[in-house]
Amino acid sequence: MMNRVFVVDYGSQYTQLIARRVRELGYYSVVVAPDEPVDPREVSALVLSGGPHSVFEKNAPQLPPWWEDYKGRVLGICYGMQLICHELGGIVKRGALGEYGKTEVTVSSDDPLFLGIPSTFTVWMSHGDEVAALPDGFRVLARTKAGVIAAATDSRRFWLVQFHPEVRHTTYGVEILRNFLTRICALSPDWNLEDFLQSKVKELRRELKGKKVIAAFSGGVDSSTAAMLVHKAIGSDLVSVFVDHGFLRKGEEEEVTGVFRDLLGMNLVVVDARRRFLERLRGVTDPEKKRRIIGEEFIRVFEDEAKKHEAEYLVQGTIYSDVIESSASGRHTDRIKSHHNVGGLPERMNLKLVEPIRELFKDEVRRLGEIMGIPHHIIWRHPFPGPGLAVRIIGEITEERLRVLKEVDHIFLEVLRESGWYEKTWQAFAVLLPVRSVGVRGDRRSYGYVVALRAVDSVEAMTADWTRLPAEILDEATRRILNRVKEVTRVVFDVTSKPPGTIEWE
């Protein structure tokens, strides 16, 4: 049997990062809620995540109900550490100041968890409570400069860390996770995407053979990979429906159909629904309402197509980051925003959902797409939200605003491609703001739109930092935009990281 590392989600925005790091090390990871039923015999190793709660809160999440039946080893992170100490008789208290951000810790006791790691290194902290006294039988492994217990163990079953090894700001975080899995749990890495592909194709063939299926196909990496995966399983029984809702990037309609219909041989149907979507969104300014309307309209379009093709299943490109940001992974996680293919679905839907890449992160999806032969320039296109440019127009969507943003976005990406910065940047795009700004054109006063350029670096979309584009690139993009799009009078550049911001503006 394949090793399965279970991660109990106590609501940390970093929970999926734990699962992602575990997979990077070659182990299959599963994220579960604290109250979710689990057969403890399936658990090869257990990680308890951090979270926003205090163990003293009335409704604070508890250890899983199957906890007593699991006899394996446990890594408790942040809240997970505090919860174990609290349950086993230690003392947890509110810290005098709390610790947030980068902190130095010093290892004071030998242990396999820190094998090959310097005695002093930098970690990422994010906690208000702290462990003041350990349960009987535990010993301190590391402390912060302020004297807070940063790591502890009973050397038999529990290894606890107050910091977040899954976050890249922890300099030896991956090594700590590797030591826990390989040296402490004695597991061998046995999971990879090639195996995932083979098993998923067999599973989909078993589930969908002889049935008619349509795919929600946008041409982005997620929907393309999901559709290609199902295409490998059932061939022409899959009808991939490409909805032109009018919110696509410039030239996207032609490029997508050329690649997937002509090159890869998929059964692709194009639906022109531009007028339909614009009418539904007329006068709508609230971003969550936009997403809900677009999600529902997508489904209605697909239901119409499903009737034509007598389909009963709908394939969607939902991935892990969609799930956590829509709070679909657990009730202890704060909701960030709805995604059209998770939180924006209508309550009543006449199609059964198939989400073949729901367990994968963005970079895993890209690698899987390459394994299946999807061209490099499609796989490495920058991520694009399902609602498209509709959520990059802040405020009401009009045909003029859509036309302006489409051209500005095209120019920005054009400059990045020409300069070699497109593939150095994880995601770049333009946003049309709901304000006007004064300018001067031809010695005359003008009054036009303000656009924001956004470029970020990330791996899994859970965290992101703004890209340090050279000044000459921003200058070139700005001059081209102002020269070629007369409705725009001002260009700004967004330097917000995630957190505290999100990647998209809406």
Parse the chain into domains and list their residue ranges: 4-184, 193-379, 392-494
Neighbours of 83 (CB within 10 A): 24
Confidence at residue 337, expressed as pLDDT on a 0 to 100 scale: 40
Mention the CATH class of domain 4-184.
alpha beta
Confidence at residue 344, expressed as pLDDT on a 0 to 100 scale: 42
Active-site option among 53, 164, 245, 340: 164
Which residue, 365, 448, 463, 443, is CA-closest to 13?
A: 463
Residues counted in the chain: 506
Tokens of 506: 């809406």
Active-site option among 53, 78, 364, 504: 78
Residue in the structure block whose two tokens are 């990979």? 225
Confidence at residue 225, expressed as pLDDT on a 0 to 100 scale: 94
Strand order in the sheet with 352-354: 268-272, 238-244, 213-217, 313-315, 352-354
Identical fold for domains 4-184 and 193-379, yes or no, is yes
* pLDDT tens track, the chain, 506 positions: 689 999 999 988 788 889 989 999 999 998 899 999 999 999 999 999 998 888 888 889 999 999 999 999 999 999 999 999 999 999 998 876 666 778 999 999 999 999 999 999 999 887 778 899 999 999 999 999 888 999 999 999 999 999 999 988 899 999 999 999 999 999 999 988 998 899 999 999 999 988 989 888 878 888 899 999 999 999 989 999 888 888 989 888 888 888 888 778 888 888 899 999 999 999 999 988 998 898 888 878 877 888 888 888 989 888 876 765 554 344 444 443 444 443 344 455 577 889 999 888 888 899 999 999 998 888 888 888 878 899 999 999 999 999 999 999 999 999 999 999 999 999 999 999 998 888 767 666 778 999 999 999 987 677 889 999 999 999 999 999 999 999 999 999 999 999 888 899 98
Confidence at residue 44, expressed as pLDDT on a 0 to 100 scale: 96
Output the CA–CA distances (angstroms, integers) from residue 449 to 190, 394, 408, 411, 483, in the order listed.
54, 12, 11, 16, 14
Task: Look at phi and psi of residue 37 and say left if phi exceeds 0, alpha if psi is from -120 to 50, else beta.
Answer: beta
3-state SS assignment for residue 289 = helix
d(CA 327, CA 309): 33
Which residue, 467, 390, 362, is CA-closest to 425?
A: 467
318-336: pLDDT as tens digits: 887 676 555 434 444 444 3
Active-site option among 99, 130, 166, 359: 166
282 sits in which H/E element: none
Residue 104 catalytic? Answer: no
Residue in the structure block whose two tokens are 């036309």? 403
Task: Look at phi and psi of residue 395 and say left if phi exceeds 0, alpha if psi is from -120 to 50, else beta.
Answer: left
Residue 78 catalytic? Answer: yes
CATH superfamily of 193-379: HUPs (3.40.50.620)
> Is the sign of the CA dihedral 344, 347, 353, 357 positive or negative?
positive
Output the CA–CA distances (angstroms, integers) from residue 353 to 311, 312, 318, 345, 418, in the order listed.
12, 9, 10, 11, 40
Confidence at residue 16, expressed as pLDDT on a 0 to 100 scale: 81
Is the bond preceding 500 in cis, omega lying within 30 degrees of 0? yes
Rounded to 10 degrees, the C-alpha dihedral 485/488/493/494 comes to -110
Confidence at residue 254, expressed as pLDDT on a 0 to 100 scale: 82
Label residue 220 exposed, middle or buried (CB < 10 Å: 0-12, 13-18, 19+).
buried
> Is the sign of the CA dihedral 458, 199, 69, 324 positive or negative?
positive
Which residue, 35, 26, 21, is CA-closest to 75?
A: 21
Give alpha helix (H) positions in 134-219. 173-178, 193-208
The fold of 392-494 is: GMP Synthetase; Chain A, domain 3 (3.30.300)
d(CA 407, CA 249): 9
